[in-house]
């Protein structure tokens, strides 16, 4: 990235879950102040702010979000609102890289549980208008992709049993990791039988335990230029690669329906610009809106071979030791519990993914710290908007 490589010098977040008693500004303040404190700076030092949410205007009747944030911070600096946290971070990275700003606050918040019935239709329209008007639910495309994947790779018989078990193991693994995450929405371990029984009860290939929950929460980070990072942090985490790509919004219209081409292209570009190799990456926070999507992401990002990620998961989780073993190397995935157990407040979700990678690379993840031979140097984050309609990849480095 050159001399203007953006660096993360502070992170903050709230606990995810149902926060009926908290207004969005309370959650934003909690996450933002934590990020500012950890960076050792004050809000008056900020040059700009990038902020994300999907539904704040609907759920909380808040007008122009930039004005809401300006009032909260008592600042009149440049501010922009995006949908996802990763989109906000991507734009902030460009401003640092260009030399425009030196200190930028990136934040995200969502308050979904108060008006879930109200926003469920809006969520489906975000994912795929065609599916919405066909009478589908937000979970429908996941099942369509699963069926297409099984057909394409001719998975049947005992292999199909292992495939279904592997997806259940994703849920079990992520709940296991969330037990050591104080901010996670769920602190309850589950077993493979629990996941399979719920699928059997509803007679669906994916059940309740295969999907991420509805959540409230906020996240924030401080992004700095090299000069400011050196002045304010002994252990900055550098954003050495970042990219995004886009696909058709209508899932059935896509040429490829057993993976997300947007994820693949974003990863390829991020790896190229970061001057790293996939094999250098030991940590990954993947967008497991469903257990299927964690498996698909392993293939889209090039960690697993096409049609084989389910087998990597199955074999790694037979005797789970905290990581997937892929081609003989360790890959630590969703160590915070993923969206499945950490929670999924859309506008803040990507911030929690970044938070986890930063803490792991700094060796400050506490009981969640990965059991690697040494502190990992590289991690990556994949966040999606819609059902793979837009993908963002950020590659982070400790050195």
Q: Give me the domains of the chain, ranges plus CATH numbers.
A: 2-116+215-232 (3.40.47.10)
Give bridge partners of residue 79 from the DSSP assignment. Answer: 49
In the prediction, which pLDDT does 114 show?
84
Q: Are 117 and 232 in contact (CB under 8 A)?
A: no
**Type and span of the H or E element at 317:** helix 309-317
Give bridge partners of residue 392 from the DSSP assignment. Answer: 244, 383
Q: Are 188 and 342 in contact (CB under 8 A)?
A: no
How many Å apart are CA 228 and CA 95, to the nearest integer?
14
How many Å apart are CA 209 and CA 64, to the nearest integer?
36
Give bridge partners of residue 244 from the DSSP assignment. Answer: 392
In the prediction, which pLDDT does 3 show?
59
Give the count of beta carbons closer than 10 Å to the beta carbon of residue 201: 10
Q: What is the Cα 234 distance to its own chain's centre?
A: 26
What does the pLDDT profile of the chain (399 residues) look like in tens digits? 445 899 999 999 999 999 999 999 999 999 999 999 999 999 999 999 999 999 998 888 888 999 999 999 999 999 999 999 999 999 999 999 999 999 999 999 999 998 877 787 777 777 788 877 887 777 889 999 999 999 999 999 999 999 999 999 999 999 999 999 999 999 999 999 999 999 999 999 999 999 999 999 999 999 999 999 999 999 999 999 999 999 999 898 899 999 999 999 999 999 999 989 999 999 999 999 999 999 999 999 999 999 999 999 999 999 999 999 999 999 999 999 999 999 999 999 999 999 999 999 999 999 999 987 778 999 999 999 999 999 999 999 997
Between strands 103-111 and 78-82, the pairing is unpaired
How many Å apart are CA 361 and CA 365, to the nearest integer?
9
Residue (of 354, 347, 341, 355) closest to 380 by Cα position: 354
Torsion angle (degrees, nearest 10) of CA 370, 371, 373, 379: -20
Please give the radius of gyration of the chain, using alpha carbons only, rounded to the nearest integer: 20
pLDDT of 220-277, one tens digit each? Answer: 999 999 999 999 999 999 999 999 999 999 898 899 999 999 999 999 999 999 989 9
Q: Are 378 and 396 in contact (CB under 8 A)?
A: yes
How many Å apart are CA 114 and CA 247, to the nearest integer?
31
Three-state SS for 368? helix
Query: Please, is 205 exposed, middle or buried when counting C-beta atoms within 10 Å of its C-beta (0-12, 13-18, 19+)?
Result: middle
């Amino acid at each position: 990235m050159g001399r203007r490589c953006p660096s993360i010098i502070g992170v903050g977040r709230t606990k995810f879950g149902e926060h009926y008693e908290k207004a969005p500004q309370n959650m934003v303040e909690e996450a933002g102040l934590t990020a500012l404190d950890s960076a050792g700076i004050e809000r008056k030092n900020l040059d700009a702010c990038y902020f994300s949410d999907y539904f704040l205007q609907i759920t909380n009747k808040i007008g122009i979000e930039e004005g809401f944030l300006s009032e909260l911070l008592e600042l009149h600096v440049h501010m922009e609102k995006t949908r996802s946290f990763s989109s906000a971070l991507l734009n902030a990275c460009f401003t640092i890289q260009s030399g425009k700003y030196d200190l930028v606050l990136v934040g995200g918040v969502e308050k979904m549980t108060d008006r879930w019935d109200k926003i469920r239709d809006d969520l489906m329209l975000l994912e795929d208008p065609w599916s919405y008007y066909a009478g589908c639910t937000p979970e429908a495309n996941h099942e369509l992709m699963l069926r297409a994947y099984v057909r394409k790779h001719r998975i049947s018989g005992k292999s199909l049993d292992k495939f279904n078990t592997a997806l259940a193991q994703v849920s079990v693994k992520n709940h296991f990791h969330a037990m050591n995450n104080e901010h996670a929405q769920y602190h309850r371990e589950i077993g493979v039988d629990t996941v399979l029984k719920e699928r059997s009860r509803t007679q669906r290939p994916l059940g309740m335990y295969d999907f991420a929950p509805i959540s409230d929460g906020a996240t924030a980070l401080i992004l700095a230029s090299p000069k400011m990072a050196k002045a304010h942090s002994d252990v900055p985490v550098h954003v050495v690669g970042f990219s995004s790509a886009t696909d058709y919004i209508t899932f059935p219209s896509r040429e490829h329906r057993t993976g997300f081409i947007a994820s693949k292209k974003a990863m390829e570009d991020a790896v190229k610009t970061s001057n790293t190799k996939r094999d250098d990456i030991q940590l990954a926070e993947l967008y497991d809106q469903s257990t299927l999507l964690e498996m698909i992401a392993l293939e889209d990002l090039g960690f697993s071979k096409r049609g084989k990620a389910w087998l990597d998961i199955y074999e790694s989780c037979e005797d789970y030791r905290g990581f997937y073993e892929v081609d003989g190397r360790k890959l630590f995935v969703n160590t915070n519990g993923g969206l499945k157990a950490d929670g999924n407040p859309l506008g803040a979700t990507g911030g929690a993914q970044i938070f986890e990678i930063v803490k792991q690379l700094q060796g400050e993840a506490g009981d969640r710290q990965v059991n690697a031979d040494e502190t990992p140097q590289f991690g990556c984050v994949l966040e999606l908007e819609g059902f793979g309609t837009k993908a963002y990849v950020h590659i982070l480095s400790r050195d």
